[in-house]
């Protein structure tokens, strides 16, 4: 059967390649009895694919039962799926067949399969392995010939790591995996879906069909749609009923989109608003670039000092300047947890500057560091805490420097 024919038959709208691939896999696996696991976010339309598989299989004349595992209370889920005997628990006034017994020869769709309790997962695993199960309150083995198709919107490998889903059951269910892409990854299909829903609601409520302006289409396509197709359908219905104007502008459309997600739309910033509504990542990058510029400016200042005066003169005339420069530069690597800025230059040696970039890379403060540290230790008679305080660095940094330069 052709792809377009399948889409028309099952009401699938869109031309996204990942969606088309999912349909193709469903049609190929349908004639077999292989177990299928359908994954995708909530609202993407996972419930359509089990119907495709069932209707295109040899079981199409058998029963098709869809079970929402997340909607059944934990205390009754075993009874719903496998049945129970009379008197097996309080309220069991008569025997009852479960879904696996009723759908014998057909297909059962277990939606939100990851919501099943672990004890029920063990029972389900036995059905998958041998086609056998027990009713609640019975020791009689019942055989069933049923095809199982499961679906979930959660990350099952993560649920396995958290002990909420059995790994062996996952491998049994995912014999053939099918992934349904979220709506935000099907941008070419969003407007098509809106038009289809708008047409359907216009017929249902006997009113003119909604139309979007060009700007509204841009907003529609760039919105995140965390609720996927279901959210798009609900919003289209809201606008169809509430708005009198049949041409929907971008401003009108945004009134119906949750405000929490509107900032995720592309935004253009003018030069005057460069720092307005910046994200945390933007601010972090800005700070890092400013730090780099500060270090480069410090290097240039020291180069100017080197060219203007001799190092010894500077040290004698302004020891506080030497202390400050030492503190500013060496503390860029003071702690292992801080960002390290490369400052490999030697500010206290006279040099001929041929190229500013080469000079910045070739300079080093190592020799002067050793001299200053030795003098501080001698001054304070080996007391590291006092020496570190005098140098303007932490005691931890001083200890590291002593060890690094092997200062006795």
φ/ψ of 197, rounded to 5, equals -65, -40
How many CA atoms, within 13 angstroms, populate the side-chain half-sphere of residue 272?
A: 0
Distance CA 314, CA 20 (A): 75
Return the C-alpha torsion angle 319, 320, 326, 327, nearest 10.
Answer: 160
pLDDT digits (tens, 9 = 90+) for 182-227: 999 999 999 999 999 999 999 999 999 999 999 999 999 999 999 9
Q: How does strand 107-111 pair with strand 64-68?
A: parallel
Q: What single DSSP character describes residue 336?
A: T
The per-residue pLDDT for range 122-166, each reduced to its tens digit, is: 999 999 999 999 999 999 999 999 999 999 999 999 999 999 999
Q: Where are the domains of the chain?
A: 3-181, 185-266, 280-405
Query: Could you give the CA distance from residue 224 to residue 306 in angstroms, rounded to a whole number?
Result: 57
Residue 30: the pLDDT is: 97
For the ranges 52-61, 79-88, 240-249, 325-334, which has the lowest average pLDDT?
325-334
Query: pLDDT higher for 271 or 40?
Result: 40
- CATH assignment of 185-266, given 1.20.1060.10, 3.40.50.300, 3.40.50.970, 1.10.8.60? 1.10.8.60
Are the beta carbons of 372 and 347 closer than 8 angstroms?
no
Strands (E) across 120-246 are located at 132-134, 141-143, 147-152, 176-179, 211-212
Backbone torsions φ then ψ of 152, nearest 5 degrees: -155, 155
- For 174, phi then psi, to 5°, come to -95, 40
CA atoms within 13 A on the CB side of 371: 11
* pTM (global) more than 0.85: no
Helix intervals (H) in 15-76: 17-29, 48-55
* Choices 3.20.20.70, 3.40.50.300, 3.40.605.10, 1.20.1250.20: CATH for 3-181: 3.40.50.300
Mean pLDDT across the chain, nearest whole number? 82
Query: What DSSP state is assigned to residue 40?
Result: -
The secondary structure of 254-313, three-state, reads HCCCCHHHHHHCCCCCCHHHCCCCCCHHHHHHHHHHHHHHHHHHHHHHHHHHHHHCCHHH
């Amino acid at each position: 059967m052709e792809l377009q024919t399948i889409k028309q038959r099952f009401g699938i709208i869109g031309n996204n390649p990942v969606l088309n691939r999912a349909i193709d896999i469903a049609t190929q696996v349908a004639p077999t009895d292989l177990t299928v696991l359908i994954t995708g976010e909530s609202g993407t339309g996972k419930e359509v694919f089990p119907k495709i598989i069932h209707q295109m299989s040899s079981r199409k004349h058998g029963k098709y039962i869809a079970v929402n595992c997340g909607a059944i209370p934990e205390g009754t889920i075993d009874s719903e799926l496998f049945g129970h005997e009379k008197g097996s628990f309080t309220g069991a006034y008569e025997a009852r067949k479960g879904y696996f017994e009723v759908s014998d020869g057909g297909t059962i769709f277990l939606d939100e399969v990851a919501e099943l309790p672990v004890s029920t997962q063990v029972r389900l695993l036995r059905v998958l392995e041998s086609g056998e199960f027990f009713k609640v309150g019975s020791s009689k083995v019942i055989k069933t010939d049923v095809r199982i198709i499961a679906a979930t919107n959660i990350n099952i490998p993560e649920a396995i790591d958290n002990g909420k889903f059995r790994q062996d059951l996952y491998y049994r269910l995912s014999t053939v995996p099918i992934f349904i892409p979220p709506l935000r990854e099907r941008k070419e299909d969003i407007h098509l879906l809106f038009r289809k829903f708008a047409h359907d609601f216009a017929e249902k409520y006997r009113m003119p069909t909604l139309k979007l302006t060009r700007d509204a289409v841009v907003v529609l396509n760039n919105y995140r749609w965390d609720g996927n197709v279901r959210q798009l359908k609900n919003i289209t219905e809201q606008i169809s009923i509430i708005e009198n104007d049949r041409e929907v502008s971008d401003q009108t459309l945004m009134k119906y989109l949750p405000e929490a997600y509107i900032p995720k739309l592309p935004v253009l910033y003018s030069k005057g608003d460069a720092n307005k509504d910046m994200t945390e990542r933007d601010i972090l990058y800005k700070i890092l670039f400013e730090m780099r510029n500060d270090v480069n400016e410090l290097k240039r200042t020291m180069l100017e000092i080197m060219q203007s005066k001799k190092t010894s003169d500077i040290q004698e005339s302004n020891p506080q300047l030497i202390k400050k420069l030492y503190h500013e530069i060496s503390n860029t690597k003071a702690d292992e947890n801080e960002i390290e800025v490369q400052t490999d230059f030697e500010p206290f040696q006279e040099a001929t500057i041929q190229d500013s970039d080469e000079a910045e890379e070739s300079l080093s403060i190592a020799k002067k560091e050793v001299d200053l540290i030795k003098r501080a230790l001698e001054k304070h008679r080996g007391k590291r805490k006092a020496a570190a305080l005098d140098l303007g660095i932490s005691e931890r940094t001083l200890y590291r420097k002593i060890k690094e330069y092997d200062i006795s």
